[in-house]
Amino acid sequence: MLQLNEILMLSSGMFVLGLIGFLTRKNMILMFLAVELMLAAVAINFVAFGSRLGLQQGQLFAVLILTVASCEAAIGLALVVAMYKRKSTLDISQWDSLHEVEPPKLAESGEVEDDNIHDYPTLAPAGLAPNAQSTVKGGSRAANEKA
């Protein structure tokens, strides 16, 4: 049989493994698994103390931790699936700058630029030779697009 302090040492080792896994892995799913590992390590602590004191409440706490962990897994995986549909990668570093899709650009004066100024590039219509004016315009538009 293991003594209480030995079980505590083992569970802290498990917790640290989960911590290292969470900090080093870049795959979002494996990061979630590392968090689950940390939760399981904490549940071991509850059970060990409850068993040492002869109380059932430790096991009850561990059951609740199990419940919360499965809730977290469900919601976390749903989020991962939603994020994977967006960028089709599981890389966490792709999501380090969560901002709006197209933040409103600031003009020189600091005013928010009017939406209608945005000029999207258009192709010259087929069948007609584009005149000089439209090619110049198209060039400037291409430059805008690059910027």
Partner 1 sequence: MIYLFAALLTLFGIGFITFKQPVYSALSFTAIVLVACVLFVLSNSPFLAAATMVVYAGATIIVFLFVLMFAQRSKLQSYDVNLNRPILTCFVGGGLLGLLISGIRSMNIAPTEELASSKVADLGKLMYSDYLWTVELAGLLLLVATIAAIVIAQETKSDSMAKFEELVKTRAEGRAPNGSNS
Enumerate residues 37-66 that contact partner 1 by CB under 8 A: 37, 40-41, 43-44, 47-48, 50-52, 54, 56-60, 62-64, 66
Number of C-beta neighbours around residue 50 at 10 A: 17
Number of residues that bind partner 1 (CB under 8 A): 88
Q: Which is nearer to partner 1, 101 or 147 (CB)?
A: 101
Candidate residues 98, 117, 123, 129; the one interacting with partner 1 per rule CB under 8 A: 123
For residue 129, give every residue at least 6 positions away whose Cβ sits within 8 Å of its Cβ, in sequence order, or none.
none
CA distance 14 to 8: 10
CA distance 35 to 71: 13
Q: Which is nearer to partner 1, 54 or 110 (CB)?
A: 54
Contacts of 29-38 with CB under 8 Å at 24 or more apart are 29/77, 29/80, 29/90, 31/92, 32/72, 32/73, 32/76, 32/77, 32/80, 35/72, 35/76, 36/69, 36/72, 36/73, 38/14
Candidate residues 9, 107, 112, 142; the one interacting with partner 1 per rule CB under 8 A: 9
Q: Does 135 bind partner 1 (CB under 8 A)?
A: no
Instruction: Give the torsion sign (CA, 28, 29, 34, 39).
Output: positive
CB of 139 to partner 1, least distance (A): 13
Q: Does 91 bind partner 1 (CB under 8 A)?
A: yes
Q: Which is nearer to partner 1, 110 or 125 (CB)?
A: 125
CB of 66 to partner 1, least distance (A): 6
Q: Does 87 bind partner 1 (CB under 8 A)?
A: no
